[in-house]
Chain A
Amino acid sequence: AQSVAQPEDQVNVAEGNPLTVKCTYSVSGNPYLFWYVQYPNRGLQFLLKYITGDNLVKGSYGFEAEFNKSQTSFHLKKPSALVSDSALYFCAVRAQTGANNLFFGTGTRLTVIP
């Protein structure tokens, strides 16, 4: 079975501070991992993905994520948060073999405080 856990429903961070949004996953075999962001009344927008290769993945808007196989984690990070980063963030996983449908976490609401 495949699943994603985002342990924090809400993350608050001051503008200019580094941010981390946590994600751990469970999958049979090797994973493909994704982060998506959802702004109010909008669909989900792709941020970044890990397919293979370097464990540190860089994506849109200055975000990055590090794949840690031993900890089965894929935490999202940004060195300096912006107020405009405030949104709902979803982590997703699928196995490298088998069905293509992604399994999503329940989301983490990030609020960047001016």
Chain B
Amino acid sequence: GAGVSQSPSNKVTEKGKDVELRCDPISGHTALYWYRQSLGQGLEFLIYFQGNSAPDKSGLPSDRFSAERTGGSVSTLTIQRTQQEDSAVYLCASSSANYGYTFGSGTRLTVV
């Protein structure tokens, strides 16, 4: 597609439930990133996929968070047993060799 697509745009979930957030990167972009933006905070790096290499998971805040990227394209970020502190906007970005990222519009997650 023309841009990075994220779904859903908004998600309200009950504490303790699992959620899945989806990211469709720009076709042909080899790298895909997940960031989290909390109210009043900057962007917190979560995980990074580059081609067929093992992902860089160094930013995941706990083992409740995981992500996968199927077929080098679509990525899913899963949060298990959600907590209120997980409430944030989750941003996905993809990039090619021109160094810059293209971001999606994000998924606003609210845990109640």
Kindly count the residue-residue contacts between A and B in the assembled complex, taking CB atoms under 8 Å apart: 50
> Could you tell me the distance between the alpha carbons of A104 and B4 in the complex, rounded to whole angstroms?
19
Residues from chain B with a CB closer than 8 A to the CB of A102 are 33, 45, 101
Residues from chain A with a CB closer than 8 A to the CB of B35 are 104
Identity of the chain A residue whose Cβ is nearest the Cβ of B47 in the assembled complex: A101
> Could you tell me the distance between the alpha carbons of A46 and B4 in the complex, rounded to whole angstroms?
13
Q: In the complex the two chains form, is B42's CB within 8 Å of A99's CB?
A: no
Q: In the complex the two chains form, is B33's CB within 8 Å of A101's CB?
A: yes
Residues from chain B with a CB closer than 8 A to the CB of A101 are 33, 45, 48, 56, 59
Residues from chain A with a CB closer than 8 A to the CB of B100 are 34, 46, 49
> Could you tell me the distance between the alpha carbons of A101 and B99 in the complex, rounded to whole angstroms?
10
Residues from chain B with a CB closer than 8 A to the CB of A105 are 42
> Could you tell me the distance between the alpha carbons of A90 and B100 in the complex, rounded to whole angstroms?
13
Residues from chain B with a CB closer than 8 A to the CB of A104 are 35, 42-43, 45
| Nearest CB in chain B: distance from A46 CB, A | 5
Interface residues on B, range: 20 to 34
Q: In the complex the two chains form, is B91's CB within 8 Å of A100's CB?
A: no
Identity of the chain A residue whose Cβ is nearest the Cβ of B33 in the assembled complex: A101
Q: In the complex the two chains form, is B103's CB within 8 Å of A100's CB?
A: no
Residues from chain B with a CB closer than 8 A to the CB of A107 are 42
Residues from chain B with a CB closer than 8 A to the CB of A100 are 31, 48, 50, 95
> Could you tell me the distance between the alpha carbons of A99 and B42 in the complex, rounded to whole angstroms?
20
Q: In the complex the two chains form, is A51's CB within 8 Å of B99's CB?
A: yes
Q: In the complex the two chains form, is A106's CB within 8 Å of B41's CB?
A: yes
Q: In the complex the two chains form, is B48's CB within 8 Å of A99's CB?
A: yes
Query: Measuring CB to CB, which residues of chain A are less than 8 angstroms from any residue of chain B?
Result: 32, 34, 36, 42-46, 49, 51, 90, 92, 99-107
Add 15 more A-B contacts to A92-B43, A107-B42 (CB < 8 A). A32-B99, A34-B101, A43-B4, A43-B91, A43-B104, A43-B106, A44-B91, A49-B100, A51-B99, A99-B56, A101-B59, A102-B45, A103-B45, A104-B43, A105-B42
